[in-house]
Amino acid sequence: MESKLMLYNTMTRRKEEFVPYNPPHVGMYVCGPTVYGDPHLGHARPAITFDLLFRYLRSLDYKVRYVRNITDVGHLEHDADEGEDKISKKARLEKLEPMEVAHYYTERYHAAMTELGVLSPSIEPHASGHIIEQIELVKKILDEGFAYESNGSVYFDVEKYNAAHRYGKLSGRNLDDIVANTRALDGQDDKRHSYDFALWKKAAPEHIMRWPSPWSDGFPGWHMECTAMSTKYLGEKFDIHGGGMDLMFPHHECEIAQSTAAHGTDSARYWVHNNMVTINGQKMGKSLGNFITLEELFTGKHALLEQAYSPMTIRFFILQAQYRSTLDFSNEALQAAAKGLDRLMKGVETLGKLKASATSSVDINDLWSRYTEAMNDDLNSPIVISVLFDWVRIINQINDGAQTISESDLAELRRMVNVIVFDVLGLRDEKSAGAAGNDKVTPLVEMLLEMRAKAKAEKNWALSDEIRDKLTAIGIRVKDRKDGCDWEIE
Ligand code: ZN
């Protein structure tokens, strides 16, 4: 059995054993959202992927400092150097302060993440709160000779950097490919080369978000914030840098160039990227009419959706794919995920009610060893889920008397299932009384069912039936068994 966590490192293009610089401490930085619109499906996958990694590392007793930023300045419409700031634009159109826009959508993002069971990171720094650190970093890169000032803006000198280091090593591109894929300079640019990127931009007169700097009143380039904030909170070298595959170029490539230029070293040891989501086989995009926000998914209010899908259905669906494979959303796939999740949660519920025997006919170590093997193989969550389904079958066999489990094995099995399902996969039972925010339901139902059992013992069938029917009417289904009864909330 593989006992060490193997993570796929985008930088080396292979799975590598995860060994932190300073165990048990782990520093992890993940690029967070740009807060200018409602959180959507595209936000769910990276958040859940790195939440799974965060939770798994913690379950292995690592002390993880997880930093996930909020981009509230500097992300221009065309990503790096072109167009209006996304937040400024929204603020201008809606006649709001840019920070009102950022605050509103940050809260929306947090609320959606809580619904999806995504844990809050250890630190969530905002780009606008780290302008001084970003200016200091620009100065450092200028001092090292890898940037130039031009008309109040500062640009990274990619050609000079490429001669000393290699620009494009993460994405596997070389400068010629990059030139072929960038727009030619139109003579109005302050840059020397089309592939140079802004470290600091002079603000046009109408630009609202601006700060003083040695070069101009302006704002930092988008890539600066992650280098400045990861260095501030995790140091010049840290363990894991994560994000969606779409950020690999140019964003992460530029981050690597910036930190290498400033500190002489690439920041992260393991670069981890989740793959993208598609909808009915298509890339998600506003112009394609298939742009779905998380709220629309949770409520079912979107032309492409046949029904509402609960947050845990979305989470379970995302976990059913390994994070490096593409994931296609469709009504059929989500409905299948909802059924699967239901089957898993029913298994967990049955586990809670199992009765122990003198001996075990099942080997509970099978669950733990297969779970560990799958998670250690680059977080292979779909295999973990299929192992859990094997165990749901076994739990049902024990419940039906076809297998037996001893008292100590039963306690251990319950502990394992709790760790895997709730702590590491981060699922919750949305149908249980506790999940509905009312933990008084269970004792109340149990009390009514005790009264019903008494009525039955006294052959008062009318009362017994009345209790069952009234419970059914409020959505609590009672199933009689040989030795008592089961109940569930529909
Ligand atoms: Zn970033």
pLDDT in tens, the chain (490 residues): 446 999 999 999 999 999 999 999 999 999 999 898 899 999 999 999 999 999 999 999 999 999 999 998 867 765 556 677 888 888 888 888 888 989 999 999 999 999 999 999 999 999 999 999 999 999 999 999 999 999 999 999 999 999 999 999 999 998 888 887 777 666 667 899 989 999 999 998 888 889 999 999 999 998 999 999 999 999 999 999 999 999 999 999 999 999 999 999 999 999 999 999 999 999 887 778 888 999 999 999 999 999 999 999 999 999 999 999 999 999 999 999 999 999 999 999 999 999 999 999 999 999 999 999 999 999 999 999 999 999 999 999 999 999 999 999 999 999 999 999 999 999 999 987 444 445 667 778 888 998 998 998 899 999 999 999 999 888 888 888 777 788 887 7
Residue 477, token pair as written in the block: 């289904």
Query: Alpha helix locations (H) across 152-236?
Result: 158-164, 175-180, 224-234
For residue 464, report the distance from its CA to the centre of ligand 1, in Å. Answer: 62
At 187 the pLDDT is 61
Distance CA 488, CA 432 (A): 8
CA dihedral (466, 472, 477, 482) in degrees, to 10, reads 20
Question: 210: closest CA among 87, 80, 94?
Answer: 87
At 179 the pLDDT is 80
Residue in this structure with the two tokens 């598609």, named with its chain if needed: 278
For residue 41, report the distance from its CA to the centre of ligand 1, in Å. Answer: 19
For residue 297, report the distance from its CA to the centre of ligand 1, in Å. Answer: 26
At 178 the pLDDT is 81
For residue 266, report the distance from its CA to the centre of ligand 1, in Å. Answer: 14
For residue 223, report the distance from its CA to the centre of ligand 1, in Å. Answer: 6
For residue 225, report the distance from its CA to the centre of ligand 1, in Å. Answer: 7
DSSP, collapsed to helix, strand or coil, labels residue 311 as: helix
369, with CB counted inside 10 A (0-12, 13-18, 19+), is middle
For residue 417, report the distance from its CA to the centre of ligand 1, in Å. Answer: 35
DSSP H or E segment with residue 469: helix 461-473
Distance CA 406, CA 410 (A): 6
For residue 76, report the distance from its CA to the centre of ligand 1, in Å. Answer: 14
At 436 the pLDDT is 45
Distance CA 275, CA 326 (A): 5
Q: Find the largest Cα–Cα distance for the chain.
A: 95
Distance CA 375, CA 361 (A): 26
Note the Cα 464 to chain centre separation in Å: 48
DSSP, collapsed to helix, strand or coil, labels residue 81 as: coil
For strands 14-17 and 6-9, give the pairing: antiparallel
Residue 297, token pair as written in the block: 């998914």
For residue 46, report the distance from its CA to the centre of ligand 1, in Å. Answer: 12
In order of 29, 48, 241, 450, the CA distances from 66 in angstroms are: 6, 13, 10, 48
At 1 the pLDDT is 42
Distance CA 450, CA 132 (A): 66
At 284 the pLDDT is 84
Beta-bridge mates of residue 283: 278
For residue 259, report the distance from its CA to the centre of ligand 1, in Å. Answer: 12
At 439 the pLDDT is 60
For residue 208, report the distance from its CA to the centre of ligand 1, in Å. Answer: 23
- Please, how many CA atoms are within 13 Å of residue 388, restricted to the half-sphere of its CB? 32
DSSP string, 222-273: TTHHHHHHHHHHH-SSEEEEEEEGGGIIIIIHHHHHHHHHHHSS-SEEEEEE
DSSP H or E segment with residue 467: helix 461-473
- DSSP letter assigned to residue 292: -
Question: 10: closest CA among 261, 319, 249, 262?
Answer: 249
> Model pTM?
0.88
At 91 the pLDDT is 84
Which residues have a Cβ under 8 Å from the Cβ of 28 and sit 6 or more positions away?
50, 53, 54, 57, 64, 65, 66, 67, 234, 238, 239, 240, 241, 242
Residue 237, token pair as written in the block: 């070298």
Dump strand ranges (E) for 75-222.
147-150, 153-156, 197-202, 218-220
Distance CA 35, CA 39 (A): 8
For residue 72, report the distance from its CA to the centre of ligand 1, in Å. Answer: 12
Which residues have a Cβ under 8 Å from the Cβ of 462 and sit 6 or more positions away?
none
Beta-bridge mates of residue 489: 476
- DSSP letter assigned to residue 286: G
Which residues have a Cβ under 8 Å from the Cβ of 395 and sit 6 or more positions away?
347, 350, 351, 354
Phi, psi at 156, each rounded to 5°: -80, 135
For residue 199, report the distance from its CA to the centre of ligand 1, in Å. Answer: 14
For residue 29, report the distance from its CA to the centre of ligand 1, in Å. Answer: 8
